[in-house]
Chains A and B, each alone.
Chain A
Amino acid sequence: NAGVTQTPKFQVLKTGQSMTLQCAQDMNHNSMYWYRQDPGMGLRLIYYSASEGTTDKGEVPNGYNVSRLNKREFSLRLESAAPSQTSVYFCASSESGGNTDTQYFGPGTRLTVL
């Protein structure tokens, strides 16, 4: 069981470039999440997907798009990267998204935008 995997681990982009962060989980979870964590700060929710085929905005969705490709995979796209998007991005999954859910996190993608 790999749990939650993320690719790539590191990425450097120039301002205006685009890229897609990939996330996959093998726990048969219904809900998946994307967070960003800026240095010395807590995690902020970007987007989440309560179940396959649905996505919804979190606290900081501007500048991002997501795709819930299937039950396993949830990708995050930056269409035109900006230096303010330099951060560590974490993907997570949980069984149902309810109040007692436990979220399982991936190892993160460290993104630098120059």
Chain B
Amino acid sequence: LAKTTQPISMDSYEGQEVNITCSHNNIATNDYITWYQQFPSQGPRFIIQGYKTKVTNEVASLFIPADRKSSTLSLPRVSLSDTAVYYCLVYGTGRRALTFGSGTRLQVQP
């Protein structure tokens, strides 16, 4: 079971880059790393997914070092609308291993 550890909360200001790091020391060879975003009173939604090195899409970048024991979600130039909870998931073998943890609560200030 690939357990993940993230900071409980982070604060930022509009226009800044935000980096949220997730630790997953016992990630398995076949596991992928996926990040979700959740706004209040809504279900989570997919942001980005990766296996190694760097992945970028229109919303974020995901950096994964060679040992894959951690990953960093990077949100460029955040706005107030990026205030949300961000979850790091590592897909284990079998659905029993799918756990969202407590996530990182990002608060963006004007």
B interface list, Cβ under 8 A from A = 30-32, 34, 36, 41-46, 49, 87, 91, 95-96, 98-103
Contact = CB atoms under 8 A, between A and B. Distances in A.
A62 B68 CA distance: 34
Interface string A31-65: 00101000011111100101000001111000000
Contacts of A26: none
B45 A105 contact: yes
A107 interface: yes
B32 A105 contact: no
20 contacts: A33-B98, A35-B100, A42-B87, A42-B100, A45-B96, A48-B95, A56-B95, A57-B96, A58-B98, A59-B96, A98-B91, A99-B31, A100-B91, A101-B91, A102-B34, A104-B45, A106-B43, A107-B42, A108-B41, A108-B43
Contacts of A40: 102
Nearest to A88: B41
A85 interface: no
B42 A42 contact: no
A96 B32 CA distance: 15
A74 interface: no
A42 B101 contact: yes
B44 A99 contact: no
A105 B87 CA distance: 14
Interface string A72-105: 0000000000000000001010000111111111
Given A41-B102, A99-B30, A99-B31, A105 B44 contact: yes
A96 to B, nearest CB: 12
Contacts of A98: 91
A42 B75 CA distance: 21
B43 A107 contact: yes
B47 to A, nearest CB: 10
B41 to A, nearest CB: 7
Contacts of B46: 102-104
Which of A104, A105, A106: most chain B CB closer than 10 A? A105
A99 B95 contact: no
Given A41-B102, A43-B100, A97 B95 contact: yes
